[in-house]
């Protein structure tokens, strides 16, 4: 995957995770809320991976 793909998938996972958390809170489902938080964290990690790839590419391109 390239950095843009990582960042897009990360944003999508974050958004889906936030929705799951909200639905979990609204319905009193601790399980759904926890799943949402886990998905949000996965999205944050994917975005960080994409940003790291960008940083490495910029560094390599300068060399």
Residue 21's alpha-carbon distances to 30, 33, 34, 41, in angstroms, are 9, 4, 7, 12
Answer whether residue 1 shows pLDDT above 80.
no
Range of the domain at 21: 3-62
How does pLDDT run across 24-59, given as a tens digit for each residue?
Answer: 999 999 999 999 999 999 999 999 999 999 999 999
Residue that is written with structure tokens 């994409």 in the block: 50
Domain count, the chain: 1
pTM for the model: 0.86
Find the length of the chain: 63
The whole-number pLDDT of residue 35 equals: 98
pLDDT at 7 over 80: yes
Looking at residues 17-24, what average pLDDT do you find? 98
């Amino acid at each position: 995957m390239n950095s843009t793909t990582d960042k897009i998938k990360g944003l999508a996972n974050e958004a889906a995770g936030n929705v799951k958390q909200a639905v979990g809170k609204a319905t009193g489902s601790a399980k759904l809320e926890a799943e949402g938080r886990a998905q949000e964290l996965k999205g944050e990690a994917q975005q960080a991976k994409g940003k790291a790839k960008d940083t490495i590419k910029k560094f390599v391109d300068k060399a």
